[in-house]
Amino acid sequence: MGQTIKVLIVDDSAVVRQVLTGLFNDTPGFSVLAAVSDPVFAEQRMQQSWPDVIVLDVEMPRMDGITFLKQLMAKRPVPVVICSSLTESGSATAMEAMAAGAVSIVTKPKLGLKKFLEDDSGDILQAVRGAAQARLSNIMPVPERLPVVPQATGAMVTTTDRVVVIGTSTGGTQALERIFRVLPATAPGIAVVQHMPERFTAQFAERLDKLCAMRVKEAEDGDRILPGQVLIAPGGRHLRMLRSGAQYRVEVFDGPLVSRHRPSVDVLFRSAARWAGRNATGILLTGMGDDGARGLKEMRDAGARTLVQDEASSVVFGMPKEALAMGASDRAIPLDAVPAEIMRVLV
């Protein structure tokens, strides 16, 4: 982006406001429009000048962050990055914020906050950069009802011979919800890497499990990839698939960052290329950066079917664009066409 990104910080912590103000003002390409302690002050400040991105806490006095977010999305949408402490109960609250239209989330601890904000400044800057590039028309809350893909006739598919692997980042939570709410319980087994903080993926999986016909769970080491089930990589850990006889299983493990991420889409896709080959379908969705592009190319070279989300429906057309540029796929499809492509695996 050639222009300076104007950031509005809304957080009741004076430490957060001070550290983030220094971070953005000291980084070329950013400037702080204001740093305020609650949404009421934010609304007053926004009457004077409109921000490019809002960094928003959840629990604040006078008005909580989710209420403020919903009001923004209903009146005049603006990219929002949630910056919140994620306790077990707080994770559900943050998940609600993502469902309401937040672009991404940055986890902040309750202890050692100042050091965390300083040490993890790169993640915060990247999240705000991605938010500034987001197409808000593609990150609006998912409708309560969506057209249903006709269910396959006959008995439940019992083989794990066909698997689907999906990778995504910025805008991916809404994209995945839109896809999985349409899929029937007879859909093929799916493994997913969504760039997401630790402790957040379990809440995300629980939310999807309640909304979808398929079973959705945070992946555990040794889980089988089964028809009718979605496995989501835990935040902060890699996910790869292995083959044991006729069965596909997943391994959840620690390791260094790959393509600047953990979990990394490249790790999952490369394992699918190695162990599933032409029995796999790889799908790369909206996201900033290039994670997954090389892995998708390896899948295609191994005979897998590969697809990317098109630019028009992507929140950030970074990862799909990189994959297209390196020949990892020759098909870019709208988000709402993805469920039908997944069901084609069973044909």
Length of the chain: 347
Point out the residues that are catalytic: 169, 195, 291
Pairing mode, if any, of strands 5-10 and 53-56?
parallel
Whether 188 and 220 have beta carbons less than 8 Å apart is answered as: no
Residue 92: Cβ-neighbour burial (10 angstroms; 0-12, 13-18, 19+): middle
Rounded-to-integer distance, Cα 101 and Cα 69, Å:
8
**Nearby residues of 189 by Cβ (< 8 Å), 6 or more positions away:** 160, 162, 163, 164, 224, 225, 226, 227, 228, 229, 230, 231, 248
Whether 81 and 58 have beta carbons less than 8 Å apart is answered as: no
The closest alpha carbon to 157, from 179, 205, 190, belongs to: 190
The closest alpha carbon to 49, from 78, 18, 81, 12, belongs to: 78
Both tokens of residue 60?
């604040």
